[in-house]
Structure 1
Amino acid sequence: MTETLGIHGPETAPAFPMKRASGCPFDPPPELTEQQRRGPLTRVDIGEGRIAWLITGYEDQRKLLSDPRVSADFTKPGYPSPVKRTSQTSSVGFILMDDPEHARQRRMVTAPFAVKRIAAMRPRVQEIVDGLIDELLAGPRPVDLVQAFALPVPSLVICELLGVPYADHDFFQANSKVVINRETSADERDAAFARLGDYLRDLVGEKQRAPGDDLLSELAERVDAGSLTREEAAGIGVLLLIAGHETTANMIALGTLALLEHPDQLAALRDSDDPALVSSAVEELLRYLSIVHSGRRRAAVEDIEFAGQTIRAGDGLIFPTDIGNRDPSVFSEPDTLDVTRDARRHVAFGFGVHQCLGQTLARMELQVVYSTLYRRIPALRLAASVEDIPFKHDGAVYGVYELPVTW
């Protein structure tokens, strides 16, 4: 017998997102783990009387994320937006679109993220990482690793890839923080999106007049050719600029903290010169931490019979990939950090046609960082207790606001 999901749903639906347990900053919320044990589908309350389906199993997430009846378009009825939708929400480019428009725009920026192009960037990323570590070693201690290292590495890389002046990093980092904070008001988020959109729109215009060897210049050429509007090019730029530094910066800082709290795993990584182990450690940290912790959001556009339930057209779906990556049917001892584990099957980058475009770049940056930072500063340690570290419980992307370290 199937059940249908009403717009208001049962009063007993647990609230989502759920809170992590005190003292367990690297683990998904206990209630989320319990929901996974109960079965593949459950109803959750996402606020304001809205009820959505929560899909917790690894295989179920992959199946539905690749189902054409499941839409990423935020304008679809029932889309379970984590924040109030505003006139500026579309400023994040193709990430909130479906095919064929999603595919059309995504294809325009695929080439710079191809494996060979990213591999060619590795020496430059190594140079950036080494330069910032040189500054760390020459500077005062303790130091906030977030501001001195974790944020500058991906910000410098994405700026060079896009053709954005790094001198403007304070501006786009500040506005990015407003955009991805779940507690930001709709007006504040609108204003931040508008500032970023205006900035990228002006920059695309500059690239039209004086193109360079960068991705924004390639987009500007498409604007000149009529295959993109300047507004669309700016939206793609906003998406890549935010995603290109926020996610990797949080993985650098949170991954470092996780390793410092697991000294045996840190030692195994630090003392090895095996690139395969470094790659394995990156995949395991992506699985173990899964920093997109508000769930990937979708809407059903047709009725779907799934796991004995009827997901109706217009129902919202949430995929918490952090708990998918802790599914014990896929990963043995999933709550254990093991840098030797083969974790390549994780869904930290999502799954299906909306799988993260920049994952090859993120992997390469993390490989360079994790193979360099702890080797060059072998005595790296926390300069504060874990209890005093400010975690980003209020963000769409999980991490830490500060990470005081010394050596």
Structure 2
Amino acid sequence: MTSTVESVGETPAHVPDFPMDRAAGCPFDPPPGALARGKETPLSKVRLWDGSTPWLVTGYAEGRALLADPRVSADITRPGYPLQAPLLEGGPSASFILMDDPEHARLRRMVTAPFAIKRVAALRPAIQRIVDDLVDDMLAGPKPVDLVEAFALPMPSLVICQLLGVAYSDHDFFQANSKILIKRTNDPQERSDAFQRLTGYLDDLMGQKLAAPADDLLSGLGERVKAGELTRSEAAQMGVLLLIAGHETTANMIALGTLALLEHPGQLALLRDSDDPKLVTSAVEELLRYLTIVHNGRRRVALEDMDVAGVRVRAGDGLVIATDVGNRDPGAFPEPDRLDIERDARHHVAFGFGVHQCLGQPLARLELQVVYSTLYKRIPTLRLATDIERIPFKHDGGVYGAYELPVTW
């Protein structure tokens, strides 16, 4: 038996706005309104900024199944797609992560090899040196220090710059424009201008790689351009995607994960005092699950009528798959609101699921493993240098985190 939005007690006038607000004093938990809906039903309607009313998918099993369902599209240009913000002129809609197969698969394959597990594992010594050098600089400098500025942001930025072949000396430029682009509440023109600046920067760099190739990912894309498999514009836009995703998400996980551990001292002590790499691995997976920093839902649109958890979803209906709520589903994770770094949380959906799951997840996992196994051992007395209530969180961003995190020791 199927149901409609009215039959589950919601009329258009009562459909709540999305994104929803987090509870004051609960920075690690999804919004209580979304959690409450997840306990009532795995699908319900919400209202977006443009007045559209897509389905909010809060169930773990339902969300995971939809993310792998070929009847569901990631194409941002399709009617009914639930946009997070107004489309930008010539903006990231051209990104392969917002396309369907076969074009998505064709473009994604061009950048898959550098993120293969074995290739990424070979980067561990270099990542360890970067982490150690940044910790050395913190220990040698004044305190308190903003962990975001001194450690969480430069660490993945240095790694992705090396991988792509981007000069880290330009980090102020690309980090500043990345912040503008991913803040959904910014003026659309301001976001579009930031995207154009980033694209222009990567296009100029692509020109340099075409003239003088090196051993880096952008040079590899340059070879695809020369072979006629990719336009220079497409290569530049792929570079923007990889540059932003490569530093922004991991930086937020480093800072927010550290804060979560500081607020759970028993879990921090367990991690800090252990030499078991398996515990480090499970801690990374549990923190990814517990925090789920992609917090505004994975966006999709139905290509045909289908039944999901007894609800009839129509072709053209938007779907907002709330993986942060799904990762708190007690059917998938017993006592889901408890941080437990010994939990087996590998089946979480923090990186999405299906053909569009995060390309860079092997690199992100490795970076977090190195950070979480090093930072707290090197600075065992690390602690907050302010009240948690005074920390500014990224409620307005596409990726959740902390704008700054003052710490001392």
Q: Into which bin does the TM-score normalised by the smaller protein fall?
A: over 0.9
1:115 counterpart residue number = 117
Q: What's 1:182 paired with? A: 184
Tell me the residue number matched to 2:374.
Answer: 372
> For the residues of structure 1 that align with 2:225 and 2:154, how far apart are their CA atoms?
30
Q: Deviations over 1:346-391 (max 9, x none)?
A: 0000000000000000000000000000000001000000001011
Residue from 178, 199, 202 that aligns with 2:201: 199
**Root-mean-square deviation (CA), in Å?**
1.3
Partner of 2:258: 256
**Alpha-carbon distance in 1 for matches of 2:110, 2:308:** 35
Unaligned runs of 5+ in 1: none
Q: Does the aligned pair in 2 maintain the 1:280–1:339 contact within 8 Å?
A: yes
Map 1:195-274 onto structure 2 (within 5 A): 195-274=197-276
Equivalent pair of 2:210/2:223 in contact (CA under 8 Å): yes
Rounded to whole Å, the distance in 2 between the matches of 1:172 and 1:55 is 34
Cα 1:399–1:90 shift into 2, 3 Å: closer
Structure 1 residue 235 displacement after superposition: 1.1
Which one of 276, 281, 286 corresponds to residue 279 of structure 1?
281
Secondary structure of residue in 1 paired with 2:181: helix
TM-score, with length taken from structure 2: 0.97
Corresponding residue SS for 2:12: coil
2:106 pairs with 1:104: yes
Contact 1:42 1:54 in 2 (8 A): yes
Contact 1:91–1:235, Cα closer than 8 Å, also in 2: no
Distance in 2 separating the partners of 1:100 and 1:395: 30
| Structure-2 separation of matches of 1:345 and 1:114 | 19
- After superposition, residues 52-63 of structure 1 pair within 5 angstroms as 52-63=54-65
Query: Tell me, which stretches of 5 or more residues in structure 2 are unaligned?
Result: none
Q: Is the 8 A contact 2:62 2:309 kept in 1?
A: no
Give me the whole-angstrom Cα distance separating, in 1, the residues matched to 2:159 and 2:54. Answer: 37
Are the aligned partners of 2:76 and 2:93 in contact in 1 as well (CA < 8 Å)? no
Question: Deviation of residue 304 (structure 1)?
Answer: 1.4
> Displacement of 1:5 after TM fit?
6.7
How far did 1:202 drift? 1.0
**Secondary structure of the corresponding residue to residue 11 of structure 1:** helix
- Give the whole-Å Cα distance in 1 for the aligned partners of 2:209 and 2:179: 26
Query: How does 1:5-404 map onto structure 2 within 5 Å?
Result: 10-90=12-92, 93-404=95-406
Report if the CA contact (8 A) 1:2-1:310 is conserved.
yes
Q: Could you tell me how far apart the structure 2 residues matched to 1:306 and 1:361 are?
A: 34
Q: Which amino acid aligns with 2:382?
A: L
Q: Percent identity?
A: 69
CA deviations 1:56-98 (Å, max 9, x no partner) are: 0100001111111111010000000110012233366211110
The residue type paired with residue 179 of structure 2 is K
Tell me the CA shift for residue 2 of structure 1. Answer: 3.7
State TM-score, norm by structure 1: 0.98
C-alpha distance in 1 between matches for 2:51 and 2:93: 27
Q: CA deviation at 1:309?
A: 2.1
Report deviation, 1:3. 4.6
CA deviation map 1:210-233 (0-9, x unaligned): 010000000000100100000111
Q: Distance in 2 between matches of 1:9 and 1:301?
A: 24
Amino acid at match of 2:347: R
Compute the displacement of 1:153 (Å).
Answer: 0.3
Alpha-carbon separation, structure 2, partners of 1:372 and 1:325: 27
Cα deviation code 1:189-220 (max 9, x no counterpart): 11011111111111111100001000000000
* SS of residue matched to 1:33: helix
Amino acid at match of 1:230: R
Tell me if the contact between 1:5 and 1:311 (Cα under 8 Å) persists in the aligned partners: no
Number of aligned residue pairs: 406
Counterpart of 2:320, as a letter, is I
| 1:280-320 CA distance string (max 9 Å, x none) | 00000000000000111011111112222221111110011
| Rounded Cα–Cα distance in structure 1 between residues aligned with 2:60 and 2:143 | 42
The letter for the 2-side match of 1:246 is E
> Comparing 189-198 with 90-99, which one deviates more in the overlay?
90-99
Residues 87-111 of structure 1: CA deviation (Å, up to 9, x unaligned): 2333662111100000000001100
- The structural deviation recorded for 1:251 is 0.1
